[in-house]
Amino acid sequence: MAIFVNENTKVIVQGLTGGQGKFHGLRNRAYGTNVVGGVTPGKGGQDVEGIPVFDSVADAVKATGADASFIAVPPKAAAAAILEAAKAGITFIVCITEGIPAQDEAKVFNTLLRDYPKVRLLGPNCPGIISPGKCNIGITAGEIAELPSAKGPNVGIVSRSGTLTYQALYELKQQGIGVSTCVGIGGDPVPGTSFVDCLAEFQKDPETHAIIMIGEIGGSAEEEAAEFIKANVTKPMSAYIAGVTAPAGKKMGHAGAIVSGGKGTAQGKMDALREAGVQIGLNPTEAGSLMAEIVKGLK
Amino acid sequence: MDLFEYQGKQYFAKFGIPVSAGGVAVTVDEAVKVAEASQYPVVVKAQVQVGGRGKAGGIKLANNADEVRLHAGNILGMDIKGHVVKRIWVEHASDIDEEYYASFTLDRAAKKHLLMLSAQGGVEIEEVAEKDPDAIVKLHINPVDGLSEKVARQAAVDAKIPAKALDGVAKILVQLYDCFTAGDCDLAEINPLILKPTGEVHALDAKVSLDGNAEYRHPEWAEYSATEELDDREQLAREKGLQYIGLSGTVGIIANGAGLAMSTLDVVNQVGGTAANFLDIGGGANADQMAAALEVINFDKDVKSIFINIFGGITRGEEVAKGIVEAMKRVNLRAPIVIRLDGTNAEEGREILASAGIPESKLMSKPTMLEAARAAVALANGK
């Protein structure tokens, strides 16, 4: 199993002929992902190391039967690229682009909701998703992800931060704990996929036995996750929230990581999750060791 | 990016929102010139990005040139909660019948735009929210649909804005929404939105925060960046294109990734230290980026130790290590470095650092984030 993507996922890369798209697209293919095509307007008919390039997503879908898209285009082209993919019938879109204006993001999110309710957008400004051994879409270094074991227990990871996601993958690998899927939802104010969306899928996924969640300051996504966990998640969880010492009113690297008007603090988020029965690590390593303990108990 | 009041008003004016006639001044003479052109009486207002200007004596009424001179002289250079007044805004004083409140923001939980409107303006909206929450109308707007004048008018009715002000308020709400969306604001707030005895509705103050991600499509924002209040460290970091936020501690921080950088501040704090900054060096962390980051950290006189926290993903440990060794040759550092290098090929990287011939008093390597934080904090505290 795994969530959102697996060995059957067929991926196209929008922006395959650009620097980022080519670098990561080829890495994803080398990992074993079914990268079936690329899209760059005006470059249809070319290929990138054997991957055919199309002028439009519609052409690519028609020729390859792709159901997922990896978007690696600059911020000013990203909103249109997302909507083009949705219109062409892509149902899972991963957008790694950082720096998309919040107004564009809000509009795209609500357009998808209204016109393409079956489409899932991951990101923008996210590292992507990996179901180890099956599919890797985005910028995660596949070699740091431990393969899930057939008899388990395996852990699902969901995170707002890229490097902290890698950190979590790495800690689990060192302990020999398998990962079902690792989802980076991204650090922007209006992410297409939320913690709650991922938790719901992990709860349903028979291959996932425990969940690590990595949040950060800003917004209320962690508090919403806590509410959801209380009512719906029976699998054991550990979590870490970054930004305990972040000064108010400053965007800490990620566009969405800001404490404003006393809201969105790390403390508030930790309290909410703790109350929902989640074990809280005070640093990423601690969240990892808490998970190792949880997994030991599941064996 | 937060705008000063005068910039916010100028921004509002571009979208047709009525504001008082006035101008910005950096000297007393300029203030008088603006006052003469704006018609007496005028209000002289300190331009600082902090609340409580009025109470601090930063807002004064002037009826003639002498009074403008007196107040402008007092206010320019005044220290308001640590913010030194470099500019003043001088505008024609408005007669006020009533004061309202209006703002647009993005509600991240609802993923929709949020209008907040109240007939009780001129005071902090948080205060109104606490004492009389029903006095604030909250209306979600779907970004796909936008805001029509009809919906805006109904919101004004719901907020108990009196009939005589309804048309004016509705019109300004639509203009303010346009400013918020087309103008790429994170926040567009008018407090107070006033009703004059003549029946006109008018923005008496302006609070605008712009979305930095939209800068590429707003070349006119360059003038706002130029007046942004950065300390010398932040200025240098901006010139070098680094994601840097100055803090007041003694441990300089360099990490790759925003989440890891935030986490590094937390861990330093957890073991009894204080961070001097937030610095995300990005995914690559090559010699050029590392040298630029070290220069900025080195510029901060309070820094007593430097904690470099790198997790190698696609960028391998040995590449990062080579970058650090090269950068250390270029920058003559005052403080010692403690590095935690982990992830892909971390061991190879640590070997490169160990065999670079740099004494441990200048560069120390620790295997975990926590141990590295402890070492960096001990050095910063002179232990």
Does residue B55 form part of some domain? yes
Return the CATH number at B28: 3.30.1490.20
- Band of the pLDDT at A75, cuts 50, 70, 90? very high
- Choose the final residue of a domain: B200, B224, B248: B224
What's the token pair of residue A233?
Answer: 């998640």
Task: Give me the active site residues of B, please.
Answer: 101, 189
- Choose the final residue of a domain: B36, B59, B92: B92
For residues B196-222, one letter each, b for 16 or more C-beta atoms within 10 angstroms of the residue's C-beta and e for the rest, the string is beeeebbbbbbbbbbbbbbbeeeeebe
> Are B111 and A110 in contact (CB < 8 Å)?
yes
**Helix and strand totals (H; E) in chain B:** 13, 18
Tens digit of each residue's pLDDT (9 = 90 or more) over B93-148: 999 999 999 999 999 999 999 999 999 998 888 889 889 999 999 999 999 999 99
> Are B106 and A190 in contact (CB < 8 Å)?
yes
Identify whether residues B365 and B307 lie together within a single domain.
yes
Q: Which pLDDT value is given to residue A63?
A: 97
> Are B311 and A159 in contact (CB < 8 Å)?
no
Q: Kindly tell me if the per-residue pLDDT of A250 is higher than 90.
A: no
Identify whether residues B267 and B325 lie together within a single domain.
yes
Does residue B42 form part of some domain? yes
Which pairing describes strands A34-39 and A68-71: parallel, antiparallel, or unpaired? unpaired
Start-to-end Cα distance in chain B:
40
Q: Which pLDDT value is given to residue B284?
A: 62
Identify whether residues B142 and B218 lie together within a single domain.
yes
Contact criterion met (CB below 8 Å) for B84 and B114: no
Identify whether residues B45 and B152 lie together within a single domain.
no
**From CA A26, how far away is CA A32, in angstroms rounded?**
10
**From CA B263, how far away is CA B311, in angstroms rounded?**
12
In 3-state terms, what secondary structure has residue B279? strand
Contact criterion met (CB below 8 Å) for B15 and B183: yes
Range(s) of the domain holding residue B257: 232-380
Domain A141-298, CATH: 3.40.50.261
B341 by Cβ neighbours in 10 Å (0-12 / 13-18 / 19+) ranks as buried
Closest CA to A165 of A125, A225, A221: A125
Tens digit of each residue's pLDDT (9 = 90 or more) over B242-263: 889 999 999 999 999 899 999 9
Averaged pLDDT for residues B69-82: 95
B82: left (phi over 0), alpha (psi -120 to 50) or beta: left
Start-to-end Cα distance in chain A:
19
Query: What share of chain B has pLDDT > 70, as a percent?
Result: 99
In 3-state terms, what secondary structure has residue B143? coil
> Are B311 and A187 in contact (CB < 8 Å)?
no
Please name the residues between 145 and 204 in chain A that touch chain B, using a CB distance below 8 Å: 159-167, 170, 187, 189-190
Please name the residues between 54 and 83 in chain A that touch chain B, using a CB distance below 8 Å: 75-76
Please name the residues between 264 and 293 in chain A that touch chain B, using a CB distance below 8 Å: 266, 282-285
Please name the residues between 296 and 325 in chain B that touch chain A, using a CB distance below 8 Å: 311, 313-314
Cβ contacts (< 8 Å) between B369 and chain A: which residues? 283-285
Averaged pLDDT for residues A162-181: 91
Q: Where are the domains of chain A?
A: 10-122, 141-298
Do A10-122 and A141-298 agree at the fold level?
Answer: yes
Cβ contacts (< 8 Å) between A221 and chain B: which residues? 108-109
Q: Which residue in B has a C-alpha nearest to residue A192's C-alpha? A: B111
Return the CATH number at B293: 3.40.50.261
Q: Which pLDDT value is given to residue A198?
A: 98
Averaged pLDDT for residues B62-71: 97
Averaged pLDDT for residues A21-26: 94
> Are B144 and A189 in contact (CB < 8 Å)?
no
Give the residue from A220, A245, A259 with the most B CB atoms within 10 Å of its CB, the best one to mutate.
A245
| Chain B touched by A6 (CB under 8 Å) | no
Contact criterion met (CB below 8 Å) for B252 and B335: yes
Q: Kindly tell me if the per-residue pLDDT of B308 is higher than 70.
A: yes
Nearest chain A CA: its distance from B115 CA (Å): 15
Q: Kindly tell me if the per-residue pLDDT of B31 is higher than 90.
A: yes
- The type of residue at A171 is E
Does residue B324 form part of some domain? yes
Contact criterion met (CB below 8 Å) for B343 and A170: yes
Residues 6+ apart with CB under 8 A from A122: A4, A92, A93, A94, A95, A128, A129, A183, A184, A185, A186, A192, A193
Identify whether residues B297 and B160 lie together within a single domain.
no
Tens digit of each residue's pLDDT (9 = 90 or more) over A187-238: 999 999 999 999 999 999 999 999 999 999 999 999 999 999 999 999 999 9
Averaged pLDDT for residues B189-216: 95
Cβ contacts (< 8 Å) between B214 and chain A: which residues? 101-103
What's the token pair of residue B126?
Answer: 């948080």
May I ask the CATH class of domain A10-122? Answer: alpha beta
Q: Kindly tell me if the per-residue pLDDT of B300 is higher than 80.
A: yes
Give the residue from B83, B187, B263 with the most A CB atoms within 10 Å of its CB, the best one to mutate.
B263
- Band of the pLDDT at B318, cuts 50, 70, 90? confident
Does residue B6 form part of some domain? no
> Are B313 and A284 in contact (CB < 8 Å)?
no
Identify whether residues B254 and B167 lie together within a single domain.
no
Which pairing describes strands B243-246 and A47-48: parallel, antiparallel, or unpaired? unpaired
Angle made by CA atoms B212, A126, B268, in degrees to the nearest 5: 80
Query: DSSP secondary structure string, A146-179?
Result: PPPPTT--EEEEEES-HHHHHHHHHHHHHTT-EE
- Band of the pLDDT at B345, cuts 50, 70, 90? confident
Q: Kindly tell me if the per-residue pLDDT of A106 is higher than 80.
A: yes
Give the residue from B108, B140, B281 with the most A CB atoms within 10 Å of its CB, the best one to mutate.
B108
Does residue B12 form part of some domain? no
Q: Which residue in B has a C-alpha nearest to residue A214's C-alpha? A: B259
**From CA B35, how far away is CA A289, in angstroms rounded?**
66
Does residue B185 form part of some domain? yes
- The type of residue at B291 is A
- Choose the final residue of a domain: B43, B72, B92: B92
When comparing pLDDT for A259 and A132, which is higher? A132
> Are A101 and B256 in contact (CB < 8 Å)?
no
Identify whether residues B175 and B293 lie together within a single domain.
no
| Chain A touched by B51 (CB under 8 Å) | no
Please name the residues between 119 and 148 in chain A that touch chain B, using a CB distance below 8 Å: 139-141, 143-144
Which residues lie across from A178 on neighbouring strands?
A154
User: Poorest-confidence range of B89-98, B232-241, B255-264?
Assistant: B232-241
Identify whether residues B196 and B273 lie together within a single domain.
no
Nearest chain A CA: its distance from B214 CA (Å): 5
B41: Cα separation from own chain's centroid = 33
User: Poorest-confidence range of A7-16, B236-245, B270-279?
Assistant: B236-245
Identify whether residues B256 and B348 lie together within a single domain.
yes
**From CA B145, how far away is CA B341, in angstroms rounded?**
49
What's the token pair of residue B84?
Answer: 């030194």
The catalytic position among A10, A24, A120, A254 is A254
Contact criterion met (CB below 8 Å) for A69 and A44: no
Averaged pLDDT for residues A116-125: 97
Cβ contacts (< 8 Å) between A159 and chain B: which residues? 259
Identify whether residues B336 and B350 lie together within a single domain.
yes
Q: Kindly tell me if the per-residue pLDDT of B52 is higher than 90.
A: no
Tens digit of each residue's pLDDT (9 = 90 or more) over B275-299: 999 999 876 667 888 889 999 999 9
Q: Which pLDDT value is given to residue B383?
A: 67
Query: DSSP secondary structure string, B15-50?
Result: TT--B-SEEEESSHHHHHHHHHHH-SSEEEEE--SS
| Chain B touched by A107 (CB under 8 Å) | yes
Q: To which H or E segment does residue A182 belong?
A: strand A178-184
> Are A216 and B259 in contact (CB < 8 Å)?
yes
| Maximal CA-CA distance, chain A | 56
> Are B243 and A253 in contact (CB < 8 Å)?
yes
- Band of the pLDDT at B42, cuts 50, 70, 90? very high
**From CA A271, how far away is CA A290, in angstroms rounded?**
17
Does residue B301 form part of some domain? yes
Identify whether residues B360 and B256 lie together within a single domain.
yes
Closest CA to B23 of B15, B13, B80: B13
Q: Which pLDDT value is given to residue A259?
A: 84
Of A110, A159, A252, the CB nearest to B262: A252
> Are B263 and A102 in contact (CB < 8 Å)?
no
Does residue B15 form part of some domain? no
User: Mean pLDDT in chain A?
Assistant: 95
Nearest 10 degrees: CA dihedral of B51, B20, B182, B104? 40
Please name the residues between 96 and 155 in chain B that touch chain A, using a CB distance below 8 Å: 106, 108-109, 111-113, 126, 142-144
| Chain A touched by B217 (CB under 8 Å) | yes
User: Poorest-confidence range of A117-121, B11-15, B204-208, B320-324?
Assistant: B320-324
Nearest chain B CA: its distance from A221 CA (Å): 7
**From CA A299, how far away is CA A290, in angstroms rounded?**
15
Q: Kindly tell me if the per-residue pLDDT of B372 is higher than 80.
A: yes
Averaged pLDDT for residues B319-324: 87
Q: Which pLDDT value is given to residue A254?
A: 86
Averaged pLDDT for residues A61-77: 97
User: Mean pLDDT in chain B?
Assistant: 93
Q: Kindly tell me if the per-residue pLDDT of A82 is higher than 80.
A: yes
Closest CA to A145 of A162, A135, A130, A160: A130
Tens digit of each residue's pLDDT (9 = 90 or more) over B143-176: 999 999 999 999 999 999 999 999 999 999 999 9
What's the token pair of residue B170?
Answer: 């509705």
When comparing pLDDT for B231 and A208, which is higher? A208
> Are B257 and A161 in contact (CB < 8 Å)?
yes
Domains held by chain B: number: 3
What's the token pair of residue B141?
Answer: 């707007």
